[in-house]
Amino acid sequence: MDKQDFVFVSKIIINECSQALEAVNCNTVEKYLTMLTEARKVFFVGVGRVLLSLEAIAKRYAHLGIETVIVGQITEPAIGREDVLIVGSGSGETMFPAGIARKAKAIGAKVIHIGSNPNSSLREVADLFVRIPVESRAKELDEIHSEQPMTSLFEQSLLLFGDATAMMLIRDRGIELEKLWEFHANLE
């Protein structure tokens, strides 16, 4: 293995991520941002590497002054009707996030599902579905193929989706990037 191998596979990953993000519906992104900014609190739920991407998104949104909560944290408050739950699940069938989504919906919170499978059982509870149409276990015909292992492309695209939407909020609100440091952790 050498530098050429690294550069080669890096380009594959970057190209796949570009394809995935370009395939996200822009009107859906606008609806997502509206729901996000109108919410009192924004809760996030996912598992595994998807959860890691969601935690990064929650942190970035917190830098923008949005009150974010990761489901399961010891300091997690109650969710209510003015809140939004963002569910990250490519398949839309992952047991824990799907169960939490149903509970949040029963309480009256809005539910946003970010995933790749448009035919998942989360359709029944999601107020909005943001589709990142990448290869998944659902094997939909229009999925973007990935040379990466398992669901890496979904997790990467999810993280980049969060950064892209954060950047849109920064521009929309006219936030000076230097001012964001006041929201950054300072006990490090």
Distance CA 167, CA 160 (A): 10
Which positions are annotated as active-site residues? 155
Q: What is the pLDDT of residues 121-145, one digit of tens each?
A: 999 999 999 999 998 877 777 899 9
Range of the domain at 123: 3-180
Please state the domain count of the chain: 1
Residue 129 bridge partners (DSSP): 113
Q: Pull the structure tokens for residue 107.
A: 């309480």
> pLDDT averaged over the chain?
94
Residue 28 reports pLDDT greater than 90: yes
Q: What is the pLDDT of residues 77-100, one digit of tens each?
A: 999 999 999 999 999 999 999 999
Q: What is the pLDDT of residues 50-64, one digit of tens each?
A: 999 999 999 999 999
pLDDT confidence of 19, banded at 50, 70, 90?
Answer: very high
Q: What is the pLDDT of residues 158-176, one digit of tens each?
A: 999 999 999 999 999 998 8
Higher pLDDT: 125 or 184? It is: 125
SS3 95: helix
Report whether 86 contacts 101 (CB < 8 A): no
Evaluated on CA atoms 82, 106, 161, 156, the torsion sign reads positive
186 in a structural domain: no
SS3 98: helix
67 in a structural domain: yes
The count of residues in the chain is: 188
Report whether 20 contacts 134 (CB < 8 A): yes
Quickly count: other Cβ atoms within 10 Å of residue 175's Cβ.
Answer: 15
The domain that holds 43 is classified in CATH as 3.40.50.10490
